[in-house]
Structure 1
Amino acid sequence: MGEFWPVPDALAYLKGGWRVTRSVRDLAGGDLGRFEGTTLFGPLEGGGLLHRESGTFTWRGVPRPAERTLRFLPGPGGTVDVRFADGRPFHCLDLSTGRHVAD
């Protein structure tokens, strides 16, 4: 595994455009999927960032277009409170060690 660099302010670090590759695993059945695409982190009214992601999600060998929108809100100590587009909690994001794994 590579080196990790601490990120004191995750929102400032994430702002802008990113290329995304993500693995997804179904814990019940063991199937594996993959998402590849782009993410744009732009300003969110009231503070934080609006995360817009689009690309291709491949599940069981079938590629399909996919997109989602999340809200990245300021959390304590430079962390991020990640929420679904409708405001429901998703997960916390802490990059202070330079690495984060979401379950």
Structure 2
Amino acid sequence: MFGITRMYTVWTWHGEVLDQPMTSQGTNYVEEWMSDHLEDMIHDVGEDNFRRANLYDSLINDSEQPLYPGCTNFTRLSATLKLFTLKARNEWTNKSFMELLELLKEMLP
């Protein structure tokens, strides 16, 4: 409807391999960018679209809630996005991904 963004240069969903440069601190650039731009991503999809699906408030809340009490590295939303990124990057099946989630559920507080 609005055309493709000019910044979309690596077609990860069309077979290109995502080159993941490291930042000067040794962290993954893509993961760092994703963490810093959660609000931008929600905005890009559109608040109205999320509100219609009753998801907007839930996503905002999950972006502010720690994954578990005392966790400082992940919010509920950032952890979910990182897990889905791993699933997509490694082409995991839904079955294997669900098995991983069940295991993590047993492991984490």
TM-score by length of 2: 0.28
Q: Which has the higher helix share?
A: 2
Structure number with greater CO (CA < 8 Å, separation at least 6) is 1
Q: Which has the higher strand share?
A: 1
TM-score by length of 1: 0.29
Higher Rg: 2
